[in-house]
Chain A
């Protein structure tokens, strides 16, 4: 099936999915913290657009609520919170370089291939659009984990966590046309509380180790303390 033969709506969703995946790659490798936060905001904006698009095309008014929540919470509030913390700790020019950028990005590529491979059996009976979407969403979720693992600074780790959440939302919106309203609201509430707790945590971590470099948090290990 050729891309141009798909209905316009499906084309748009696929393009948005591709952009979300690409932004995740950028977030994985970008050295500047502030830019990573901006990338995250852009990704959330794409998610908002995708949600609104599904709502419009499928005539599902409750998805507009979900789109509004995404816009307020993930595109505006969370980036605002993170940038405020960057301001406050004066970390505008601080870098968070990946230790092995080439290997990390290469493994990210492998993860995407792996996701396509895993979802192949499900997709056999489905439209090619949904097959792509499931694979891409799964890839964004796993790449979010990779960001969490490979980054050192608390802020970029939080961005990784939130990216993971974005992947989940994209899956919920594009593959299943949104979740039941009560679940959507609950999840949004959890994300809000999580973001606030993250904010509190930055202060505590900063107070306790005088830095936001979480690789310094290494007292609790399974070694003998003697």
Chain B
């Protein structure tokens, strides 16, 4: 209880203090301190939850179980590493004159605000509050996307704001419909949006209304997940904002949106179980379809990118597509794989964006053909980028390989012929990424290219974690994923 409240209130505290304090050379230390403390409390809460099982807090306003608590820890963890990275990075940007002192204040305050919104979205028991927090996450990042005030960044932020705003509005309409269906079943009107109540009565909900609600919610949260064809905002917002922002957007925001979608799917599946009028598996099929489409299209688009951050944001769309597909597939194995994939993708992708940030500071450009000879200039950054690319494209011994292997196995069991497009998509994405990254890390070092101050410790930590997850998943973590898979599908992989 205490730990959860601390996890939530620390970012809130950080947001307010950093906004009032203004820019200060030590502001980034406070930023790091808040996230580190938040991670500590998140871990304490996770241990409590794993021992005691699902629990609601604060009159049912907050809810934690094995599924969301692991995302809370993941969010806090990536929040820490990105905060550590963003300290020297943003000071360098300040020194280069790309941001002013006032915008540093905006940056730090919004960073904490974003983390706060994400943690609220994850731990909220009320689907309406979940929506509010998702919108809050958009609002807190939109001014960060336009932090550099270039015409491109303002366009990206405008697009991000409008597209996500419109998308998420559809999700609110879906929430209203769900509330409408639930208020006829739940005794207490006020409780009709509480997840813990909804899942109990899900089987009695009106299938037609719930399926319509799912449609709206899929469009709404799907926009935030970055599913094709609603993905347009994603590469722009990732490429034009400051790099720490890209890291948390890619590593965390997309996860939280997908989390919301999975929760809704659980209700929808239960409601449609014995329905005559609607196909009971419609939610899963829709997610599989959109997921596979995003996976393939993003893989193809990887080949056309000229900007390094756009390149990796398309890779994020590709992976989110794969996870959406896996959650749609359902079944314990696919869900276990998807949960693992969520973790390793977040860790790997945020580490990659950190390296990419340093790489573009070294080369003073984000254009792929302007970045050359990274290993020769600064080996840590060059190797970091190369290892990250190898990890994200699914090379063993990294965790992405294991999760993708699990997903392929699960697909082979239920929909054998779908493994073909999956393998093809993995191949296309692999070629697209390696083709672009290879000349950047090797190659001649351009004249006068100098190393930049960089703290590669967070990157190293994250790659090590991903490698450990690839070689041998610790037993407690496997149990944890299994418990989450049990919650989602009703059955686990482990005995």
Contacts and interface: CB of A to CB of B under 8 A. Distances in A.
Contact of B169 (A164, A208, A220, A222): A164
Nearest to A158: B162
B128 A183 contact: yes
Interface string A136-178: 0110010011001000001001000100110110011001110
B143 A183 contact: no
A175 B126 CA distance: 19
Interface string B201-242: 000001011001000000000000000000000001001100
Most buried by B among A161, A167, A186, A201: A186
A180 B126 contact: yes
A204 B152 contact: no
Interface in A170-226: 171-172, 175-177, 179-183, 186-187, 189-190, 193-194, 197-198, 200-201, 204-205, 207-209, 214, 217-220, 222, 224-226
Interface in B119-161: 126, 128-129, 131-133, 135-136, 139, 142-143, 146, 149-152, 154-159, 161
A69 to B, nearest CB: 14
B142 A171 contact: no
A61 to B, nearest CB: 13
Contact of A179 (B159, B193, B212, B301): B193
A121 interface: yes
A180 B193 contact: yes
B170 interface: yes
Contact of A226 (B61, B126, B139, B306): B306
A107 interface: no
Nearest to A214: B158
Contacts of A157: 162
B220 to A, nearest CB: 11
B154 A179 contact: no
B442 interface: no
Contacts of B69: none
A35 interface: no
B87 to A, nearest CB: 26
A62 to B, nearest CB: 10
Contacts of A225: 306-307, 367
Contacts of A179: 128, 176, 179, 193
A189 B180 contact: no
Contacts of B190: 180-181
A197 B145 CA distance: 13
A122 interface: yes
Nearest to A208: B151
Nearest to A190: B135
A118 interface: yes
Contacts, number: 132
Contact of B176 (A145, A175, A193, A205): A175
Interface in B262-319: 277, 301, 304, 306-307
A217 B154 CA distance: 9
Contacts of A181: 190
B172 interface: yes
A171 B277 contact: no
Given A138-B173, A168-B173, A183 B193 contact: yes
B169 A176 contact: no
Interface string B240-263: 100000000000000000000000
Contacts of A167: 173
B166 interface: yes
Contact of A190 (B136, B161, B209, B301): B136
B451 interface: no
Given A197-B142, A200-B143, A205-B158, A161 B176 contact: no
Given A176-B176, A201-B157, A217-B158, A141 B169 contact: yes
Most buried by A among B132, B149, B236: B132
Contacts of A176: 176, 179-180, 183
A186 B169 CA distance: 14
Contacts of B169: 141, 144, 161, 164-165, 168
Interface string B189-202: 11011000000000
B165 interface: yes
Nearest to A173: B176
Contacts of B209: 122
Contact of A219 (B135, B152, B206): B152
Contacts of B126: 180, 182-183
Contacts of A220: 152, 155-156, 159, 236, 239-240
B173 A171 contact: yes
B162 A208 contact: no
A185 B184 CA distance: 23
B474 to A, nearest CB: 38
Given A122-B208, A176-B183, A187 B132 contact: yes
Contacts of B183: 176-177
Contact of A208 (B149, B173, B304): B149
A57 to B, nearest CB: 16
Contacts of B146: 201, 204
Most buried by B among A122, A164, A187: A122
Most buried by B among A148, A182, A224, A226: A182
Nearest to B165: A161
Contacts of B240: 220
Contacts of B193: 179-180, 183
Nearest to A145: B166
Contacts of A137: 173
Q: Which 7 A-B pairs have the closest CB atoms?
A: A183-B128, A186-B132, A217-B155, A208-B151, A190-B135, A176-B180, A121-B208
24 contacts: A118-B212, A121-B208, A122-B206, A141-B173, A145-B166, A154-B158, A164-B169, A180-B126, A182-B61, A183-B126, A183-B132, A187-B128, A187-B131, A197-B142, A204-B146, A205-B154, A208-B150, A214-B158, A217-B154, A217-B158, A219-B155, A220-B156, A224-B306, A225-B306
